[in-house]
Chain A
Amino acid sequence: MKKLIILILGFYFLTLFQISFFPHFFLTNSLNFILILVVLINLFEPRKEKLGLFSAFFGGFFLDIFSENFFGFWVLIFLAIAVFLKFILRKYVQIPIFKPT
């Protein structure tokens, strides 16, 4: 539960940073840092954990709130990416340093 609250707050502040701080910089203007974080969490969390799916949901939800698109647009994209990554990692990738727990 504590992890989830930190995750929600983290994504909330990252979204604010993304829409109010990064537009001032040419390099970071159109980089989606929330997507990058969602992908990283999904890649590096233990296989049975579900934090990656929650991160996709909340990251997408906050991005939907602060963007022009309809609610669910980014949530759907992020959830699809998270599920795809989990499926690929579980089925085809074996990295010895991560325990398959």
Chain B
Amino acid sequence: MKLSYRVRIGIISVLIVFFFLALNLTPVGKEVRNFFYLISEPIQKFFWRVGDRVSDFFELITEIKNLKKENEELKLRIQELMSEIVALKELKKENETLRKALGIGLEKEFKLVLAQVIGKDIFKDSILVNKGSRDNISKGLPVITEQKILIGKIKEVYENFSKVILISHQESSFDAKILEAEIYGVVKGKGNFKIFLELVPKEKEIRERDLLVTTALGGIFPKGLLVGEIKEVKKSDIEPFQQAEIKPFFDLKELEKLFIIFE
């Protein structure tokens, strides 16, 4: 018996629906994803590295005009930072002496796991790293760079890989403060690499280039991780709070090695 064209189409459609339901509602979906990530990892690493180099090359060509100006600005900034470091070193010494005198131990550093970026979601601010449940990674762990710059947190864990949502992801929201001024607010991701500092009372003064760090409030991230700097402050007469756009310190194009904070 030969089935008619319409019946065949109907059967195929039902089979496709069942296939996707099975992938979404059972753990098989995770296994399938992990399998594909595993076989693709070497190729993805290669593409990521090649992409990084090629984009660096083109950036060099397009940015060559601005390099001199930027170099001079950076030299000035280095001088400023050097003097700040000297002052901070003295404060550190003083702090250590006081801690010793008071019998308080130094804060423990984080326990970290090194991970490598191998891909980015096409329309969402999330990346794929090559560490998973086999390396004791669990949902919600913070992800930072070598310079203690906050990248995001683990959203989904597979056997050998994890999905990390960046701080600019629409689901990302955490407490932060402006370093020098002790002004607290909530950092919210808006997608497409846009981040805003919100819920800051209007009477507090935020300036451009102020540094933003995480606080322990909310328990999402450890305190003291660098988030970014204030890019633009937006105030409105009808709103009780002000808002500020943040320029993140990380550049996705440059990300390759990351650290996941265990403890």
List the interface of chain A (C-beta within 8 A of B). 13, 16-25, 30, 32, 57, 62-63, 65-68, 70-72, 75
Contact = CB atoms under 8 A, between A and B. Distances in A.
B122 to A, nearest CB: 6
A16 B43 contact: yes
A68 B166 CA distance: 13
Contact of B118 (A18, A20, A57): A20
Given A71-B20, A71-B23, A20 B47 contact: yes
Contacts of B29: 71
11 contacts: A16-B47, A19-B44, A19-B122, A20-B48, A23-B120, A25-B51, A30-B192, A66-B122, A68-B121, A70-B24, A75-B20
Contacts of B32: 65
B191 to A, nearest CB: 11
Interface in B6-56: 16, 20, 23-24, 29, 32-33, 36, 40, 43-45, 47-48, 50-52, 54-55
B123 interface: yes
A19 B24 contact: no
B237 to A, nearest CB: 35
Interface centre among A13, A17, A23, A57 (most CB of B within 10 A): A23
A67 B165 CA distance: 12
A17 B33 contact: no
Interface SS of chain A: helix, strand, loop or mixed?
Answer: helix
Contacts of B253: 23-24
A49 to B, nearest CB: 16
Nearest to B156: A68
B119 interface: yes
Interface of B: 16, 20, 23-24, 29, 32-33, 36, 40, 43-45, 47-48, 50-52, 54-55, 58, 118-124, 126, 128, 155-156, 163, 192, 252-253
Nearest to A70: B24
Contact of A66 (B23, B24, B50, B128): B128
Given A20-B51, A71-B29, 16 more contacts: A16-B40, A17-B47, A18-B122, A19-B122, A23-B120, A23-B253, A24-B55, A30-B192, A66-B36, A66-B119, A68-B121, A68-B124, A68-B126, A72-B20, A75-B16, A75-B20
A67 B126 CA distance: 9
B123 A30 contact: yes
Nearest to A20: B47
A23 B51 contact: yes
